[in-house]
């Protein structure tokens, strides 16, 4: 049909030549997905089963990232979310209803704890917290209405490594699902499904991204039943991830192995050096015997990453520890971790049952890709200023 130039702006008759092939996956953006005819139109979220239907459920870029994460985690299917916290929320909304009971470790990521307490309780869900080092004794915390048991290994800030196989065996016998935040291990150094976990999540923001420049999360499942529940909720919550962010994550995957290797080596060297410093009472690095649950790390993990904490001696005040952090030059102060830049954050942990008495004396470090000797010199300089 004949078209004016105005219509040709939207419906051109010319196109770029075909056959372009690149090492970089294409970035597919789009909300509307075109159907071949009127009868084929459907609003179905499972694009693996029916083909592409709507951009909300993922473009080829989103599903490519999901497939690659799933492959690395040895799972059945993976969903991509706009961030790690969105992944946590998606899991809870998909598997819990009013009257159910959820168990969460005391060492859990603070926003996960806050969501559990401030949102789930508001919807009539019972919430319980358990000591992260409890292992098979979690049996005493389980109830008839327990539906989810969250794990995070190692735990945020205090770094306890959990006995996941023992927790999973008891929990699954009770008819509940085991969910693991596997971000610290990058979904690689701990094979969650082999060790009895039903659902994993990661903040892809962290090691997969690796450069502190986007927010993404993932949820991976072991079977189709969990996939169906999550997919239906993912659709209703509208957790669409940006294809541009997914393309950055796909790029990050290509360098993940070399980044993890360098970070692991540097972090271990610095953790071992810090453990010999007189200012430090304890180094909480899962690969060191001083970390609670180290025996489970040694048994179950195939490597370590760059996040660990140090606990200063009891004679140091909060102001002195802030002086240490503020005096660092290469270590920057900021949330999140796993990027190329080293970070330091001081915490003041309120006393709670089943928690270590670290109070203001704990500082979490993220080791980046700077030269290890430069980072050590920076730490030594700041320690001398306390």
Q: What would the pLDDT profile of 140-162 be if each residue is shown by its tens digit?
A: 999 999 999 999 999 989 999 99
Q: What would the pLDDT profile of 23-80 be if each residue is shown by its tens digit?
A: 988 999 999 999 999 999 999 999 999 999 999 999 999 999 999 999 999 999 999 9
Between CA 182 and CA 294 the distance in angstroms is 16
Q: Do domains 38-250 and 255-383 have the same CATH topology?
A: no
User: Which pLDDT score, from 0 to 100, does residue 327 have?
Assistant: 98
- Encoding tokens for residue 200? 């994993």
Q: Above 90 in pLDDT, residue 294? A: yes
User: Which pLDDT score, from 0 to 100, does residue 256 have?
Assistant: 98
Smallest CA-to-CA distance from 55 within 25, 28, 32 is with 32
**DSSP strand pairing (126-130 vs 101-105):** parallel
User: Which pLDDT score, from 0 to 100, does residue 353 have?
Assistant: 76
Write the DSSP string, 21-85.
--SSPP----SB---SSGGG----S-HHHH---BGGG--HHHHHHHHHHHHHHT-SEEEEESSHH
Under 8 Å between Cβ of 234 and 95: no
117 secondary structure, DSSP code: I
Q: Mean pLDDT lowest for which of 183-197, 275-289, 347-361?
A: 347-361
User: Which pLDDT score, from 0 to 100, does residue 2 have?
Assistant: 87
What is the arithmetic mean of pLDDT over 236-259? 97
The answer for 241, left when phi > 0, alpha when psi is -120 to 50, beta otherwise, is: beta
CATH number of 38-250: 3.40.640.10
Under 8 Å between Cβ of 27 and 243: yes
Write the DSSP string, 282-351.
EEE-TTSTTSTTHHHHHHH-S---SEEEEEE-TT--HHHHHHHHHH-SSSB--S---SSS-EEEEE-PPP
Give the torsion sign (CA, 178, 183, 184, 188): positive
In the block, which residue shows the tokens 């004679």?
315
- Report the predicted TM-score, pTM, of the whole model to 2 decimal places: 0.95
Between CA 111 and CA 85 the distance in angstroms is 7
Under 8 Å between Cβ of 209 and 220: no
- Encoding tokens for residue 314? 């009891």
Q: What would the pLDDT profile of 299-329 be if each residue is shown by its tens digit?
A: 999 999 999 999 999 999 999 999 999 999 9
User: Which pLDDT score, from 0 to 100, does residue 350 have?
Assistant: 81
Q: Where are the domains of the chain?
A: 38-250, 255-383
Distance of CA 361 to the CA centre of its chain: 25
Under 8 Å between Cβ of 174 and 142: yes
Q: Above 90 in pLDDT, residue 117? A: yes
119 secondary structure, DSSP code: I
Smallest CA-to-CA distance from 363 within 281, 293, 305 is with 281
Please state which of the four CATH numbers 3.90.1310.10, 3.10.180.10, 3.90.1150.10, 3.80.30.20 is assigned to the domain occupying 255-383: 3.90.1150.10
């Amino acid at each position: 049909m004949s078209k004016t130039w105005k219509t040709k702006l939207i419906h051109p008759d010319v196109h770029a030549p075909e056959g372009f092939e690149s090492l970089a996956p294409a970035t597919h953006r789009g909300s509307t997905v075109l159907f071949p005819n009127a009868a084929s139109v459907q609003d179905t979220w499972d694009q693996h089963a029916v083909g592409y239907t709507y951009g909300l459920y993922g473009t080829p870029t989103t599903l490519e990232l999901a497939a690659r994460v799933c492959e690395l985690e040895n799972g059945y299917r993976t969903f991509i979310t706009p961030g790690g916290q969105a992944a946590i929320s998606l899991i809870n909304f998909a598997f819990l209803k009013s009257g159910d009971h959820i168990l969460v470790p005391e060492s859990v990521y603070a926003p996960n704890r806050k969501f559990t307490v401030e949102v789930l309780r508001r919807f009539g869900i019972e919430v319980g917290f358990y000591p992260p080092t409890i292992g098979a004794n979690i049996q005493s915390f389980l109830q008839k209405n327990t539906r989810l048991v969250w794990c995070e290994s190692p735990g945020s800030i205090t770094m306890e490594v959990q006995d996941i196989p023992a927790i999973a065996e008891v929990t699954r016998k009770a008819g509940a699902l085991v969910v693991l935040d596997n971000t610290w291990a990058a979904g690689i150094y701990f094979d969650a499904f082999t060790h009895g976990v039903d659902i994993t999540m990661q903040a892809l923001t962290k090691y997969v991204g690796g450069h502190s420049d986007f927010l993404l999360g993932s949820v991976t499942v072991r079977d189709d039943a969990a996939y169906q529940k999550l997919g239906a909720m993912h659709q209703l919550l509208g957790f669409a991830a940006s294809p541009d962010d997914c393309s950055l994550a796909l790029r990050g995957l290509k360098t993940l192995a070399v980044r993890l290797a360098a970070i692991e080596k540097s972090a271990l060297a610095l953790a071992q050096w810090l453990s010999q410093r007189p200012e430090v009472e304890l180094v909480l690095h899962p690969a060191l015997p001083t970390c609670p649950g180290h025996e489970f790390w040694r048994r179950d993990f195939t490597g370590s990453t760059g996040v660990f904490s140090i606990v200063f001696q009891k004679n140091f005040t909060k102001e002195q520890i802030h002086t240490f952090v503020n005096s660092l030059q290469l270590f920057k102060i900021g949330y999140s971790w796993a990027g190329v830049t080293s970070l330091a954050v001081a915490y003041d942990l309120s006393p709670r049952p089943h928690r270590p008495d670290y109070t203001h004396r704990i500082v979490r470090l993220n080791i980046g890709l700077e030269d290890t000797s430069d980072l050590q010199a920076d730490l030594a300089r700041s320690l001398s200023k306390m």
